[in-house]
Structure 1
Amino acid sequence: MKPIFALLSLVAALLLTGCAKPTQYDYSAFKQSKPRSILVLLPQNTSPEVEASHGFLSQATLPLAEAGYYVFPVAVVEETFKQNGVSSPNDMHAVSIAKLRQIFGADAVLYLTVSQYGTSYQVISSDTRVSASAKLVDLRNGSVLWSGSATASSTEDDSNSNGIFGMLLSALVNQISSTMTDKSHDVAGVTSIRLLSAGTPNGILYGPRSLKYGKDAQ
């Protein structure tokens, strides 16, 4: 009987582990900082696609604005950097927080990194995938207010039951279509929403321009 009880105990432990809630993010610094404006820098790009930085940046400001923050216009920000001899994402990220605060007057800066961006063709599948991580830093004292990561893929909820030939053909068509229509840009939009939207588990808090401001911090 002992082996049976041991097995039942193991199953119960696994079920409890599977049902456990994810660790709650520590928002102490975020709540104390109460940022009103966010400066979004051109993302660093560790993927092979050269257009990844600007492709993801074009999608990053919308969820932040909808969350209730003033987001500095990215075109103006990039041009300001260029006028000061700074053009690459790495150089932008290397600028001190004191300098960023002095030039832009923002409350916080968002550092982004794109690790995956583009379409890959794998024999019987074609997958457009975008992965990114973010870190929100208080420009007044350098404390990290929030960090997170997210991924989106064009193959999510994809159920293809047309056999091997149909799967090969579908993958080829998807590859051509993704290349012609820049599907990565659309997938980047999904990734940015998952990463930067407020009201999600362990996501950023609502900003002062939102009617839900302060309610998610209780």
Structure 2
Amino acid sequence: MTLNISRKLIAVLSILLFLSACASSRSQPDYTAFRNSKPRSILVLPPINDTNDVNATYGMLSQMTMPLAEGGYYVVPVAAMEETFKHNGLTLPNEIQDVAPAKLRSIFGADAALYTKITDYGSSYRVIANKTQVSAQAKLVDLRSGETLWNGSATANGSETGFNVSVGGGLVSALVQTAVSQAVNVATDKSWDVAGLTSQRLLATGAPNGLLYGPRSPKFGTD
């Protein structure tokens, strides 16, 4: 009887280990194409704004260059990118992201382009809670082959930026606090700060499921 129980226990443990290994392998992205591509320069395209806030695209775009540069990549200057597209009659992010990779490569000479979509941006008022959140999805595409090298997403909210308004306890105080917080968030464009945190998380190098270190980083090739 004891032998049978032991065998069953071993069988169950084996199945659990197998399922755990399968889940782990699925959660780990495949970086084979990324490592083979070895992009040195990145063109950051204007993010598509899938929200109701007109400031979303530039709120994100203005803060996406820094984490990529710190990660070891040369990033095509945003001003030069915008001016080039404007001269070619392209001003909308959707139109710009529809340009063929080979064409982008011939114009800017970059190895890869970053395509981003903003799915949440701004402050929303709720009766006893105010929320500022920025969420975005991105993919890195090799402009030489058109192959997707990496996909990622990130979210950040106002409570993580260290700014809070406090006016005491109780329901009335909570309502006042929410109203004051909403007014301050709008007046100071708190979404911009949150977008900066989202950009850092989205484009972090060396993090789990993040971008690989670029060739200008002293950590290049270690991840």
Whether the TM-score (by the shorter chain) exceeds 0.5 is yes
Aligned-partner Cα distance in 2 for 1:196–1:163: 41
Deviations 1:173-204 (A, max 9, x none): 11011111110000000000110010111000
Shift of residue 33, structure 1, vs aligned partner = 0.2
* Aligned pairs for 1:55-134 within 5 A: 55-134=59-138
Query: Within 2, Cα distance between the matches of 1:202 and 1:184?
Result: 25
Instruction: Select which of 15, 26, 30 maps to 1:26.
Output: 30
Q: 1:101: Cα distance to partner?
A: 0.4
Rounded Cα–Cα distance in structure 2 between residues aligned with 1:208 and 1:176: 44
Flag structure 1 segments of 5+ consecutive residues without an equivalent.
1-8
Verify: 1:185 aligned to 2:192, yes or no. Answer: yes
**Counterpart Cα distance in 1 of 2:213 and 2:175:** 44
TM-score, normalised by the number of residues in structure 1: 0.87
Counterpart check, 1:49 vs 2:53: yes
Aligned partner of 1:175 in structure 2 is 182
Count of residue pairs the alignment pairs up? 201
The residue type equivalent to 1:120 in the other structure is S
Name the SS of the counterpart of 1:149 in structure 2: strand
Deviation at 1:62, TM superposition (A): 0.7
Name the counterpart of 2:217: 210
Across the aligned residues of Structure 1 and Structure 2, the Cα RMSD in angstroms comes to: 2.2
Q: Which secondary structure does the structure 1 equivalent of 2:89 belong to?
A: coil
Structure 2 unaligned segments of length 5 or more: list them: 1-11
Give the Cα–Cα distance (whole angstroms) in 2 for the partners of residues 197 and 113 of structure 1: 17
Quick check: 1:198 aligned with 2:205?
Answer: yes
User: In structure 2, what residue type is equivalent to 1:172?
Assistant: A
2:47 is aligned with 1:40: no
Question: Structure 1: how far apart are the matches of 2:36 and 2:172?
Answer: 58
Distance in 1 between residues matched to 2:118 and 2:212, nearest whole Å: 22
Cα shift at 1:162:
2.4
- Following the alignment from structure 1 to structure 2, what is the Cα–Cα distance between the partners of residues 103 and 155? 41
Match of 1:4 in 2: none
| Letter paired with 1:204 | L
In structure 1, what is the Cα distance between the partners aligned to 2:196 and 2:91?
A: 24
Q: Distance in 1 between matches of 2:138 and 2:176?
A: 37
Following the alignment from structure 2 to structure 1, what is the Cα–Cα distance between the partners of residues 110 and 170? 55
Task: Give the TM-score, by structure 2 length.
Answer: 0.85
Q: Distance in 2 between matches of 1:178 and 1:199?
A: 32
State the match for 1:144 in structure 2. 148
Please report how far the alpha carbon of residue 51 of structure 1 lies from its aligned counterpart in structure 2 after TM superposition.
1.1
The alpha carbon displacement at 1:163 in A equals 2.8
* 1:27 partner amino acid: Y
Give the percent of matched residue pairs that are identical in Structure 1 and Structure 2.
57
Kindly provide the CA deviation profile for residues 7-62 of structure 1, in whole angstroms up to 9, marking residues without a partner as x: xx9xxx8xx97xx7581111000000000000000000010001110111001111
Larger radius of gyration: 2
d(CA) in 1 for partners of 2:107, 2:171: 57
What is aligned with 1:6? none
